[in-house]
Amino acid sequence: MTRVKRGVIAHKKREKILKKVKGFKWGRKSKERAAKEALLHAGVHAFRGRKEKKRNFRSLWQVKINAAARENGLTYSKLINSLKKKNVEIDRKILAEIAQKHPAVFKKIVEEVK
């Protein structure tokens, strides 16, 4: 059987792992075993963070819509309820952007559903 030299491949593999953990604290940035473990945990936290980001943004949109709705004499819940009754299909993301950047347009939407 012929001899297989794997030094180059193994080195590339280690370098790839250590490149990903650049900026980590303590031995996790330089020791291969600790770096692998840190990457596993980082992946879990990144996945969870992507889900949390959606929650955080939805609550932010609700706050923005509520603030603009109260300026026009409604509350958030009453505004959303009347939008659904009138079959106005604007999602919260767009509604929050309109409320913040175009208050005149938001006022027209509120007047439409009142």
At 13-66, the pLDDT tens digits run 999 999 999 999 999 999 999 999 999 999 999 999 999 999 999 999 999 999
For CA atoms 73, 79, 85, 88, the dihedral sign is positive
| Structural domain count of the chain | 1
Q: What is the pLDDT of residues 64-87, one digit of tens each?
A: 999 999 999 999 999 999 999 999
pLDDT at 62: 97
Work out the number of other CB atoms within 10 angstroms of the CB of residue 82. Answer: 15
Q: Which two tokens stand for residue 65?
A: 């819509």
DSSP state of 28: G
Is 2 inside any structural domain?
no
Is 95 inside any structural domain?
yes
Is 99 inside any structural domain?
yes
Domain that holds residue 52: 26-113
Give the pLDDT band of residue 5 (cuts 50, 70, 90): confident
